[in-house]
Structure 1
Amino acid sequence: MMKLTHAMLLSLTLAGCAQSEDSDNTSTNVHAKKQESPTVVAKQSEERKLDVSLDEKTVLNVTDVEKKDIDELHEQLKSLTQDLSCDNTSQCHIKAVGSRACGGPSSYLIYSSKSSSTTEVTELAKKITAYESSFNFKNNMMSICEHLTRPSTQCVENKCVTLSNTSQEAY
């Protein structure tokens, strides 16, 4: 009876940390051997396979992704989006970037379509998300299971800024 109770509690805990489409980046590397039901493991593996196959031409094999690869991609994205100048709010955008081990984006990026190509930002964000998902899977990463709130942005004094205490969606 005690084993059944533990199995049910573990299942409920894991269900609360199910991965969603948008993902988030504060992951902690904790190697913990955990026993999961076969259906939960199969479902998580299937979800991760879907994330990795987003763009097979640009995604390395799961065993090939390393932290330095992810860091390099983040630097490229930062360089691409560092100019936040804008003429109006319609040029300010938010992009979910990365993948937390427990689901959701690792961060949200504010960028201006006046100075950055939306297509390039989107492709690089997808690549980072796929790489982080692969890295998390490969290294049995765990995270805090806290979903970030998608921020709002607007053009203030010709610069895209995050609006404080507002959000477009909350989890």
Structure 2
Amino acid sequence: MKWFFKIVVLAIVLQSFQCTDSNESDDLITVAQLETKKQEIQNYINGFSCSESVGCGFIAFGSKPCGGPKSYLLFSNKIDQSKLQKMVKEYNEMDELYNIQTNAISDCMYVSPPTEVKCVNGVCTITK
């Protein structure tokens, strides 16, 4: 009876160490995917110039492993902000998943948002 119990426990333990399903690797986020998405967002933002009358805005971008954004993107207020927010949300979720998948670490320093963004020569610029 003791042997039977040991075999059952051993079988349960061995099952917990099974290899991962090959489909899980399809869900892994790559640096190339992040770079492609980042470039797509940057190209979209660069398609809009600013003016003093329209102004500029900013949005938190990226996901630090300890939480919070990696940086802030500046954009002209001419842009479709709901489209930009959707694109950035997708990127941030991908970046967060990448951090989890790679056990990423960071400095955990807080990245402050810009206090003032203005249009300078048709380009959104942090002035303070």
Contact 1:62 1:138 in 2 (8 A): no
Q: 1:144 to 1:138 in 2, by over 3 A?
A: same
Alignment TM-score, normalising by the size of structure 1: 0.54
Over the aligned positions, Cα root-mean-square deviation in angstroms equals 2.1
* Structure showing greater relative contact order (alpha-carbon pairs closer than 8 Å, 6 or more residues apart): 1
Tell me which residue corresponds to 1:80. 44
1:154 is displaced (CA, Å) by: 1.3
Q: 1:153 to 1:62 in 2, by over 3 A?
A: farther
Q: Which protein is bigger by CA-based radius of gyration?
A: 2
Which of 62, 71, 74 is matched with 2:35 structurally?
A: 71
SS in 2 for 1:143: coil
1:90 is displaced (CA, Å) by: 4.9
Matched residue count: 103
1:118 is displaced (CA, Å) by: 1.0
Contact 2:28 2:101 in 1 (8 A): no
Unmatched runs of 5 consecutive residues or more in structure 2: 1-24
Unmatched runs of 5 consecutive residues or more in structure 1: 1-60, 167-171
1:68 is displaced (CA, Å) by: 1.2
Q: Distance in 1 between matches of 2:55 and 2:81?
A: 10
Aligned residues with identical type, % of pairs:
23
Tell me which residue corresponds to 2:65. 101
Amino acid at match of 1:138: Q
1:83 is displaced (CA, Å) by: 4.2
Query: In the alignment, does 2:98 pair up with 1:135?
Result: yes
